[in-house]
Structure 1
Amino acid sequence: MADTRQITIKDVAQAAGVSFKTVSRVLNDEPNVRKELRDRVKAIAAELGYVPNVAARDLAGGRSYLIGLMFDNPSESYISKIQTGAITRCRTTGYYLIVEPLEPTDDVVATLEPILSRLRVEGLILTPPICDNLAVLDAIERAGVRYVRIAPDRDADRAPCVAMDDVHAAYEMTRHLLSLGHRDIAFIKGHPGHGAAPRRLEGYLRAMGEAGLVVPAEHIQPGQFSFQSGMVAGEALLGLDHPPTAIFASNDDMALGVMWAALHAGLSVPGDISVAGFDDSQPSRMAWPQLTTVRQPIAEMSAAAVDILIEGANRGRASQPANRWLDYELVVRGSTGAPRPVSARVEPRMISS
């Protein structure tokens, strides 16, 4: 009969010719283990099919190997990528992810405190905008739980964070539209409570200012990082007496809402109106034409957040892991092109919701 017993850490130690403690240090990613030895032990563990027993590790070492993800972000595509990156990294490091959505209309702290007391997580990942909620940060610190913030807007040195340069990314996207010949470029702002929203607006305004262009007030529309808000803003912009030739929405969901509004008004993209977004979500690649956007390393950000929490757990509280800055990429697709001459432009149909 086949041997169906579970492979243990002692089996790995015996196969590798090292002590039980050495294998434990390697599998827990503790420091001061030679790279060659670390790689060999991990390879043997994988070959034997070793699966960590979380309950046993918890009892033996006082650690839960659980990481929590908490969010109140309205963008489903953004949160999907955040979860994917964190889950994938947790699986490769022997940790497990607990996901807790927090409704922004609730008393967030009242919801959070019982979670912190019942779940013995080794750390939390906080996404915007909740990562900038000072009452939430105070509650987490009172509970003595480590946390990492993704793209925070305030008190950046309060805890480790993972971020990218939203200002320069939006600046580059605006410069791309300018390089195509657009001068009437409108912008749709993001959720007012989201730290990235003002940074992306700043990048847009900087590029427009450097080009010597004055932006009419009506060319900057409010948004909520949702498809619906992009559709409403798009309808408002396309209904102006002098509509823009390009619209830069500060996330993909809103940009897709703009494309819907353009279609509803009888306009073609990019022939009559160019549209650009931000994030490089999966829907941006499923739209037709595909959306020009900024590829934000969302999954990589949450994976890096997991790494920071594990590094902090292994170090203890003696030192704080360094912040991580990740690169972005400008992705040019079919939704942007040169503006048509004024004489060839199509007047939008009357838009009614």
Structure 2
Amino acid sequence: MALTIEHVAEAAGVSRQTVSRVINNRPNVKDAVRHRVRAAIDRLGYVPNLSARRMAGARSYLILAVNDRQRTLENWQAGRGNDWVDQMLYGGMTECERHHYHLVFELIDTAGDKAVADLAAITSALRPDGVILTPPHCDDSALTALLAERAIPCARVGHRTGDGCVDVHMDEEGAAAAAAGHLLDLGHRHLAYVAGAPNYGNSARRVAGFRAALSAAGAPEGLIGNGDFKFDTAARVIDEMLGRATPPTAIIADNDEMAFAALHVADRRGLKVPRDLSVVSFEDTPGVRFSVPPLTAIRQPTAGMIATACKQLIAISHGDASNGIFELPFELIQRASTGPIAA
């Protein structure tokens, strides 16, 4: 026998309408009653029918999160995995589960017209209650315009203007400045920054924070290179930096993969980390703890940012919240890849 909402209502001793309010996280239900209904749902193993819920109201109970198609597929196809996506799914799925929503993950192109066409097709098919745009899509005004035209709430991860969207971010400039400050405190004066892709706004913000920290400390202007978030590209850039007459004694990389490139290039050149070269990374994926030496890193609150985006979009779909700007804290995790410059 298939379980229905009526079975839950009978088990909890409440009306069908009360069970519906609890399932849909609607107000006007006492906490004790809500707890009793939840207990009945768990005891019976009742799973709300998504199709029935969608027919009963205007909501789809779906949150759509999109990511950079080419970069994500490149990482998967190369067997490198993608911790950013792992953390997205972890943060988004667990938060959606709390509200009896579902997270749908899709990849879309970054080229302007193709990105708009991809998002238009996906939103037409799914009719999500909200869409999460991650870098670089979060900086594409054509995508936010499409969502506004279709009256679909939008959350941008890595954006922070709040103009018509939920914007969730960390202080990118502050994080880069903290990384540079850590190296300056260790006595380093010649620093380099290996930035990610030019179309990622966060990379530009981190470079700005890096430069500001050096300027405030009266340190020489740092070297800037573009590693495109890729190991091989970063390795070439770093090798050129270390071959200069006055090479950097410390490098900050825009992601862990490029930081690993710094360790490999240093080893190939006979440099010891951190005696001859200190390395700091952004991301703090699991692999940095097992590198040799373990990497000092800026830990991004990726899961927390996606969870916050989902929470706000779900609240908006219920009419309980509005757009806004939410900043989550980063952490500087100090490990063995950074140390004082050699005497």
The question of a shared fold, defined as TM-score above 0.5 by the shorter chain, is answered with yes
What TM-score results when the alignment is normalised by the length of structure 1?
Answer: 0.87
Match of residue 171, structure 1, among 168, 177, 191:
177
Counterparts of 1:158 and 1:260 in 2: how far apart (Å)? 44
Say whether the 8 Å CA contact 1:149–1:162 is kept in structure 2: yes
**Superposed displacement of residue 131, structure 1:** 1.0
The amino acid that maps onto 1:329 is: E
Q: Provide the residue aligned with 1:58 in structure 2.
A: 54
Q: Provide the residue aligned with 2:86 in structure 1.
A: 80
1:222 paired with 2:229, answer no
Percent identical pairs in the alignment equals 39
Counterparts of 1:326 and 1:7 in 2: how far apart (Å)? 41
1:45-72 deviations in Å (ceiling 9; x for gaps): 2233222221221222243211111111
The amino acid that maps onto 1:114 is: A
1:196-239 deviations in Å (ceiling 9; x for gaps): 112211221222112111215xx111232232332222112111
Aligned pairs, number: 332
Q: Provide the residue aligned with 1:294 in structure 2.
A: 298
The amino acid that maps onto 2:229 is: F
Counterparts of 1:43 and 1:261 in 2: how far apart (Å)? 57
1:163-199 deviations in Å (ceiling 9; x for gaps): 1111111111111111112111111122211121122
Q: List runs of 5+ in structure 2 lacking aligned partners.
A: 73-81
Counterparts of 1:203 and 1:48 in 2: how far apart (Å)? 54
The amino acid that maps onto 1:162 is: V
**Superposed displacement of residue 260, structure 1:** 1.9
Say whether the 8 Å CA contact 1:148–1:159 is kept in structure 2: yes
Match of residue 7, structure 1, among 3, 12, 26:
3
Counterparts of 1:46 and 1:236 in 2: how far apart (Å)? 60
Match of residue 250, structure 1, among 247, 254, 277:
254
Counterparts of 1:288 and 1:230 in 2: how far apart (Å)? 18
Counterparts of 1:34 and 1:52 in 2: how far apart (Å)? 21
What TM-score results when the alignment is normalised by the length of structure 2?
Answer: 0.89
Counterparts of 1:22 and 1:264 in 2: how far apart (Å)? 67
Match of residue 19, structure 1, among 15, 25, 32:
15
The amino acid that maps onto 2:148 is: E
**Superposed displacement of residue 321, structure 1:** 4.2
Counterparts of 1:79 and 1:294 in 2: how far apart (Å)? 17
Deviates more, 1:35-44 or 1:322-331: 35-44
Q: Provide the residue aligned with 1:141 in structure 2.
A: 148
Counterparts of 1:221 and 1:178 in 2: how far apart (Å)? 19
Q: Provide the residue aligned with 2:139 in structure 1.
A: 132
Match of residue 101, structure 2, among 95, 99, 113:
95
Say whether the 8 Å CA contact 1:311–1:321 is kept in structure 2: no
Secondary structure of 1:171 counterpart: helix
Say whether the 8 Å CA contact 1:230–1:256 is kept in structure 2: no
The amino acid that maps onto 1:240 is: R
Counterparts of 1:47 and 1:230 in 2: how far apart (Å)? 54
The amino acid that maps onto 2:131 is: L
Deviates more, 1:225-234 or 1:167-176: 225-234
**Superposed displacement of residue 315, structure 1:** 0.9
1:180 paired with 2:186, answer yes
The amino acid that maps onto 2:333 is: V
Counterparts of 2:197 and 2:247 in 1: how far apart (Å)? 23
Q: Provide the residue aligned with 1:349 in structure 2.
A: none
Q: Provide the residue aligned with 1:150 in structure 2.
A: 157
Match of residue 328, structure 1, among 323, 327, 330:
330
